[in-house]
Amino acid sequence: MKNRAIFLVDMESFYASVEKADDPTLKNRPVIVSGDPKERNGVVLAACPLAKRMGVKNAIRLWEAQEKCPEAVVVRPRMQRYIDVSLQITEILERFTDQVEPYSIDEQFLDVTGSEKLFGPPWEMAKKMQAAIRKETHVRARIGIGPNKLLAKMACERFSKKNKKGIFELNESNLECHMWPLPVEDLHGVGSKMSRHLRNMGIRTIGGLATYPLSILKKRWGISGQVLWESANGIDASPVRRDSHDGQKAIGHGMTLPRNYETISEMKVVLLELSEEVCRRARLNDVMGTTVSVGARGANRDVPTGFHRQVTLYHPTNNTLDVYASALTLFQRFWDGSPIRKISVGLSNLCSDKYVQLDLFQDVTRKRNLGYTTDWIKNKFGDTAIIYASSLTSAAQAFHRAAKIGGHYK
């Protein structure tokens, strides 16, 4: 069977590139896209190549980045704009193949096996994609090519990003000379903890893992050991799927609070708002859940405190007040009274909402219709068209969150 041709298309410094494309005055200046420190999200989300050469890296604090690159232009993120450009790039890629799987806002997998007769061999096709994306969005794409998703991602992350052409192909013929000499922690799927375990076993490189006795790896980690060995040998059977994000197992929402919340009355407000957001998403996906979870993190960074607990309900639900009641009970049971910095609510063990359990003591149909009617109003007139009265208090975050996507302003 003919090897498949899989691409991972990654946008270089995506947020920063979009900002430079929209503002020509930034073309030759170092640009940093960062949240607002006043809202506790002052970390670097993206830095252009000029800023990276000065030592700026993603996820460091803004003040650290400014120390390394004082002349950098700091831009607040515009999440809706980045989403729009990402969708535009998806449309460009779909001209080459209908097998496009979004991996993140700036990365997409493609299976172009059936497109070679139309657009040429993989390298030629990759150059055409790069040119189209550059022309229409002014963003530079880096492309990794491989016979499967794993090697395409490794090719992109470890090689395409480091060469001038921005394209690299990794396959069985060059696996040993290019991928095997890399440190074992560079292998996709090997985290810091696993890396320590492997190094303690004398495994320092990906090649060392690939040639290590499979029986020992399986004896120690079972199926995970098998997967590690296969990954190191460039084996990956996962297909490119357009529906890879369908059928999610849980729905959750969390927030970093603008200040430390210290009273239960303040916590009730944000718990209700988070419960509403979680249930709205559940209703949007026509699902209910039987497990409610609550997570909280304390404000003291030096002495980490907090908890994450869950409870299973008697019947599945996507009703806001049902979820809120369980979330509040959990929070009150496990909160130690210390100031809270972050909080989250989740709903899991999902099932279809097409069938509901009737209840002798409450009107289930009325509660269900109320939730979907509220969603209809919000979808038509905006997220804050209808709110709980508590969202008008000083502890509320509903209006701020309505103006944001992914925790950052649209």
Name the binding residues: 10, 106
The catalytic residue among 19, 101, 107, 276 is: 107
Spell out the SS3 assignment of 253-316.
EEEEEEEEECCHHHHHHHHHHHHHHHHHHHHHCCEEEEEEEEEEEECCCCCCCEEEEEEEEEEE
First to last CA, the chain: 47
Does the active-site annotation cover 124? no
Report the binding-site residues for Mg(2+): 10, 106
**Dihedral angle of Cα 102, 103, 107, 109, to the nearest 10 degrees:** -70
DSSP β-bridge partners for residue 34 = 44
CA-CA distance, 390 to 90, in Å (whole number)? 40
Element (H, E) at 351: strand 340-352
* CA distances (Å), origin 283, targets 114, 175, 368: 37, 46, 9
What distance in Å separates the CA atoms of residue 259 and residue 400, rounded to the nearest whole number? Answer: 14
8 has which bridge partners? Answer: 109, 144
Handedness of CA 400, 401, 406, 407 (dihedral sign): positive
Task: Return the closest-CA partner of residue 111 out of 153, 143, 149, 142.
Answer: 149
Q: How far apart are CA 189 and CA 343, in angstroms?
A: 28
Cβ contact 51:69 at 8 Å: yes
The residues annotated with a catalytic role in the active site are: 107
